[in-house]
Structure 1
Amino acid sequence: MAVKTRREKRLIRHKRIRKKVFGTAERPRMAFFKSLNNLYVQIIDDEAGHTLVSASTIDKDFVEKYGVRGGKNIEMAKKLGEFIAEKALAKGIQNVVFDRGGFIYHGKVKAFADAAREKGLKF
């Protein structure tokens, strides 16, 4: 068996998660992704195939609100969780299914999820 890279292992975990997690109009999927430099999140209706709400640490509105562009530390994850929750609640989305994207539920992912829950999203 060949040695797998961290990215390949994450993609395997992500496929396993996606078999179980599916977003509907009543309860869309909140997909989280972290790159080398930034954090991204989308709220997706998988039945219709549409992104309902999206945000990232380089989003223009996020930069204007928090005065910081980019970054992917735990503080940025908390701010992004609050930001996406506010945007989702403004669009009338309260219940979501959390898709951690194959990342371990720890550190930035946990901080993001906790901040979104505190602001009113239910998952």
Structure 2
Amino acid sequence: MSAQTTLRRKLRARRKVRQAAAERLRLSVYRSSKHIYAQIIDDSKGVTVAAASSAAVKDGSKTDAAAAVGKALAEAAAAKGVKQVVFDRGQYKYHGRVKALAEAAREGGLDF
């Protein structure tokens, strides 16, 4: 996949997130080859409200680690009083680890 295609996909996803994010916070996902990172960002203030990563998770597959990150992020968000977010998957397809993270966050109480 070319860099131009990746950039296009990322910008298309970001445009949809901006349209949907009237007054909601943004749940942003970054996926590396080994780990997955997620954070809830308040774009109006420019601050990160809650964050979680799979760097601390040692057991299981990458998909299991992504689900653990989603659950941990939902718990951290609930502690801060955040219930509704907009899911920003970035340049990644909603499949595999990204999907596992999103579903675990939904089960943990986040609404998106």
**2:14 maps to 1:18:** yes
Partner of 1:45: 42
Q: CA deviation at 1:8?
A: 4.0
Q: CA deviation at 1:92?
A: 0.4
Q: Which runs of 5+ in 2 are unaligned?
A: none
TM norm structure 1: 0.80
Q: CA deviation at 1:85?
A: 0.4
Counterpart secondary structure, 1:114? helix
Q: Which runs of 5+ in 1 are unaligned?
A: none
Return structure 1 stretches of 4+ with deviation > 2 angstroms.
Answer: 7-11
Partner of 2:31: 34
User: How has the CA–CA distance of structure 1 residues 107 and 52 changed in structure 2, closer, same or farther, with 3 Å as cutoff?
Assistant: same
How far apart in 2 are the matches of 1:21 and 1:72? Answer: 29
Q: Which range moves more in the overlay, 89-98 or 12-21?
A: 12-21
Counterpart secondary structure, 2:105? helix
How far apart in 2 are the matches of 1:19 and 1:54? Answer: 23
**Aligned residues of 1:37 and 1:72 also touching (Cα < 8 A):** no
Partner of 2:77: 88
Could you say what the CA RMSD is over the residues aligned between the two structures, in angstroms? Answer: 2.0
Q: CA deviation at 1:49?
A: 1.3
Q: Deviations over 1:72-105 (max 9, x none)?
A: 7111111111010000001100000000012111
Larger radius of gyration: 1
The alignment covers a number of residue pairs equal to 110
